[in-house]
Amino acid sequence: MQTPEPMLDFVMRKHDVYYHRKREELSAKSGVPRHTLNKVLQGRTKQPLASTVQRIYDVLVAAERSAKRKVHKSGSNMADFLAQEAAKRLGNAGQAVCDAP
């Protein structure tokens, strides 16, 4: 079974947004072994199994939905929310990047 390209594209674009430096957590939530996850996300697996991509995709979609709910509750926009989340992960160094003009 061939991997659906839109799903793989979404995984490649979104994994770093929601799980930057948290691949162990993404691995645990998706049930995909970390070694396999790393190979897929680094593009070393040219034709990953559709079931593997589906499991990663499902976790990322859930993370995106959760983020959108938080954004809606906070009254901010998605870009601001993601910048704030990145600043939390990176500490003061991230805040300087987020505050730059």
Q: Which long-range contacts (CB under 8 A, 24 or more apart) does 32-40 make?
A: 32/56, 40/11
- Domain with 16, as residue range(s), is 5-99
Structure-token pair, residue 10: 């979404």
Do residues 15 and 55 lie in contact, with contact meaning Cβ atoms separated by under 8 Å?
A: no
Do residues 11 and 57 lie in contact, with contact meaning Cβ atoms separated by under 8 Å?
A: yes
pLDDT score for 14: 82
How many other C-beta atoms are found inside a 10 Å radius of the C-beta of residue 93?
A: 8
pLDDT single digits (tens) 76-93: 777 777 777 767 766 654
- The structural domain count of the chain equals 1
Q: What is the mean pLDDT of residues 17-30?
A: 85
pLDDT score for 80: 76
Q: What is the mean pLDDT of residues 13-33?
A: 86
User: What is the C-alpha to C-alpha distance for residues 60 and 57, in angstroms, rounded to an integer?
Assistant: 5
**Whole-prediction pTM:** 0.68
Average per-residue pLDDT for the chain = 79
